[in-house]
A and B are shown apart, each in its own frame.
Chain A
Amino acid sequence: MPIDPNDLYRLRRRPPSEKQLDTGFHWLTVLTASTVAIVLVLILAIVFHGSLESMGLYGWRFLVTSNWNPVDDEYGALTAIYGTMVTSLVSLLIAVPLGVGTAIFITERFIPRPLREMIGLMVELLAAIPSVVLGLWAIFVLEPALRPFLTWLHFTFKDIPLFSTQPLGPGMTPAILVLVVMILPIITAISRDSLNQVPIRLRQAAYGVGSTQWSAILHVILPASISGIVGGVMLALGRAMGETMAVTMIIGNSNNFSWSLLAPGNTIAAMLANQFGEADGSQVSSLMYAAFVLILLTLVVNILAQLIVKRLSLKY
């Protein structure tokens, strides 16, 4: 029987509906991708618009004064800005080495596999604790347990501004430690995933030329996974800057400015949560202004991080 070539290759011709499906899918991805950008721009625009009044009234003064007084309609957000920066950066300072170290420990064959998997699981469980529970734990367990040590810190290093006040309950240090507990699982989990994604052939290359485990980790494996790790750290930083519930429960919500880490303080997120309910007039606008500052802070840190990653990372 003669074979009709058109028949034989029937499957090669794609029906118009399939092509339309492709085009439709293309536009769907364009839509979803641009939604993120549009939402971001809208949020920025609305927050900016809301803060215009306060910007006009207080200008740059808002950023460097700490007088937050709804009665006199005087607003300065220095305490909250300082609190946000200090709590998030110090908690990162503690959580990054701890988290990346844990990730290296559980990916790089230092201990048997079952043990590694167990530690990994426990870290992930840590992430499942609701922040309000962590806040309660901080109030009833962490802070009382910590106080003798903080008191000792104060009396030993009185002359350093960071330890210049006596700890009297809620304050920035317990808030920092709660943040460490909250962001540690993020950093550990993402670092572990990016370390695991380093291809086996790259490890073989490193060990094959006689690297010790440490030089392989330091010179090959970490540089190859650094962009993922920094991504995780950035997520963690966002979480730390924006975390509201646990922080507001333990930080003391004081708008009196103090350099001391042992004193009560405030963060922008905690302040927003506490005051938005009963705010009116230029207080709303001032809170918007503070929120705008918070967004800008995260944006700047993110951009800096991208620049660092570009310089450090190995592309494989």
Chain B
Amino acid sequence: MTVSATTATPTTGEEICLSLENVSISYGGEEAVRNVYCAIPRGQVTAFIGPSGCGKSTVLRALNRMNDLIDNCTLSGRVVFDGADLYHPGVDPVEVRRRIGMVFQQPNPFPKSIYENIAFGARINGYTGDMDELVERSLRQAAVWDECKDKLNESGCSLSGGQQQRLCIARTIAIQPEVILMDEPCSALDPISTLKIEETMHELKKTFTIVIVTHNMQQAVRVSDRTAFFNAEAQEGGSGKVGYLVEFNETDKIFNSPTQQATYDYVSGRFG
């Protein structure tokens, strides 16, 4: 099988929010993902699926310049957001991250109080409204208010792993970004909290664009409008595997009538 670069243009009439144009990302010269073309529509949930290590998190981090924090990470190609290249030298990565928020694979609350976890981000983004109200609303939206309401002054790290993750989601909602990137936000959650988060996502996509990485096929089917399937294969002459985008389409099509054999194998559970 050759490394295919599937160009996926959404059906006409949809507005493109973020698009990856021939994006390749390497860590210290070692290519991790190659030639990704992908246009993410506004106001929808897009899911990234694929086997472990195929570069889903890497691509996701490229969307809000989080990869800048990794010393040896380089990107080629263009990531276009609102018509402008995010990697243009004149673009301030701080502003990018204020407009494109992120929930990470591992919960990472600040070692500050639960209240301050929400308030810190809101404050540095210039929020001037009623902070108490914002904290409560964000925690409610992230389905963690009931567990937190009596201990807003306790450390965010005193929560359980799943509660911490929902706190991180609340923190991201509170900064009111235009896009929310979620890297397996439910991997540490029980089914009930997962459902709550999914409901939240349905609610959120009215105002936000969401990109979610998930290993849970049912979740992708439940929450997403479009799905991108990534895969990794051994590089000719190279040591490691290189990830690439196999297929990007409406979720429905990916799961019911994929055009690529690899996609079919993966979604039907016949993969490696």
Closest Cβ of chain A to B249, distance in Å, is 29
A213, A224, A315: which has the most chain B beta carbons within 10 Å? A315
- A271 proximal to B (CB < 8 A): no
Q: Is the CB of A212 within 8 A of B94?
A: yes
A32-40, A58-66, A198-206: which lies at the interface:
A198-206
**Contact partner, A211, options B64, B94, B102, B106, Cβ 8 Å:** B94
Beyond A210-B124, A211-B124, A315-B157, whether A205 also contacts B71 by CB under 8 A is no
A209 CB contact (under 8 Å) in B69, B112, B124, B157: B124
> In the complex, which residues 113-142 of chain B have their Cβ closer than 8 Å to any Cβ of chain A?
120-121, 124-125
Q: Which of A272-316 contact B (CB under 8 A)?
A: 314-316
Q: How far is the CB of A235 from chain B (nearest CB, A)?
A: 24
Are A210 and B71 interface neighbours, CB within 8 A?
Answer: no
Which residues from chain B contact A223 at a C-beta distance below 8 Å?
111
Does A209 contact B121, Cβ atoms closer than 8 Å? yes
CB-CB under 8 A from A206, the residues of chain B are 110
Tell me which of B108, B125, B157 contacts A204 (CB under 8 A). Answer: B108
Interchain CB contact (< 8 A) of A205 among B94, B95, B108: B108
B69 contacts which of A207, A210, A215, A219 (Cβ < 8 Å)?
A207
User: Interface size bucket, B side?
Assistant: 20 to 34
Residues of A within 8 A of B109 (CB): 205
| Chain B 69-101: CB-based contact to A (< 8 A → 1; otherwise 0) | 101000000000000000000000011011001
A145, B160: Cα distance in complex, Å: 61
Per-residue A-contact encoding for B236-258, CB less than 8 Å = 1, 0 else: 00000000000000000000000
Query: Residues of A contacting B110 with CB < 8 Å?
Result: 202, 205-206, 220, 314
**Interface check B20, CB cutoff 8 A:** no
B5 within 8 A of partner (CB): no
| Residues of chain A within 8 A of B64, CB atoms compared | 208
**Residues in B whose Cβ lies below 8 Å from that of A208:** 64, 66, 97, 101-102, 104, 172
- Interface residues in A181-219 (C-beta closer than 8 Å to B): 200-213, 215, 219
B61 CB to closest chain A CB, in angstroms? 9
Interface pair B155/A205, CB less than 8 Å apart = no
A315 touches B97 (CB 8 A): no
The interface centre, meaning the residue of A207, A213, A215, A314 with most chain B CB atoms within 10 A of its CB, is A207
The answer to whether B120 and A219 touch across the interface, beta carbons within 8 angstroms, is yes
Whether, in the assembled complex, B47 has its beta carbon less than 8 Å from a beta carbon of chain A, the answer is no
**Considering the chains assembled together, what is the distance between the CA atoms of A210 and B94 in angstroms?**
5
Alpha-carbon gap, A316 to B102, bound state (A): 20
Nearest-CB residue, chain A, relative to B116? A219
Task: Give A227-278 interface residues, CB cut-off 8 Å to B.
Answer: none
0/1 per residue, A85-113, Cβ < 8 Å to B?
A: 00000000000000000000000010001
B171 contacts partner chain A, Cβ-Cβ < 8 Å: yes
Q: Are A209 and B101 in contact (CB under 8 A)?
A: yes
> A209 and B108 in contact (CB under 8 A), knowing A203-B69, A204-B66, A219-B120?
no
Kindly list chain A residues whose C-beta atoms are within 8 Å of the C-beta of B124.
Answer: 209-212, 215
Would you call B45 an interface residue if the criterion is a C-beta within 8 Å of the partner chain's C-beta atoms? Answer: no
Q: What residues on A are CB-neighbors of B101 within 8 Å? A: 208-210
Min Cβ gap A21→B in Å is 36
The CA of A115 and the CA of B101, in the complex, are separated in Å by 32
Residues in B with CB closer than 8 Å to A215 are 124
Please state if B97 and A207 are interface contacts (CB–CB under 8 Å). Answer: yes
Contact between chains at B111 and A224 (CB < 8 Å): yes
Which residue of A207, A212, A220, A224 is within 8 Å of B66 (Cβ)?
Answer: A207
- CB-nearest residue of chain B to A113: B71
Q: Which residue of B lies closest to A199 (CB)?
A: B108
Query: How far, in whole Å, are A206 and B175 apart by their CA atoms in the complex?
Result: 12
Q: Which 3 A-B pairs have the closest CB atoms?
A: A209-B121, A210-B98, A201-B108
Other A-B contacts than A209-B120, A314-B110, 11 sampled, CB-CB below 8 A, are A201-B106, A202-B108, A204-B66, A204-B69, A204-B108, A205-B168, A207-B69, A208-B64, A208-B66, A209-B124, A210-B101
Interchain residue pairs with CB less than 8 A apart (27): A109-B69, A201-B106, A202-B110, A202-B111, A203-B69, A204-B66, A204-B69, A206-B110, A207-B69, A207-B97, A208-B97, A208-B101, A208-B102, A209-B120, A209-B124, A209-B125, A209-B171, A209-B172, A210-B95, A210-B124, A210-B125, A210-B175, A211-B121, A212-B94, A314-B110, A315-B111, A315-B155
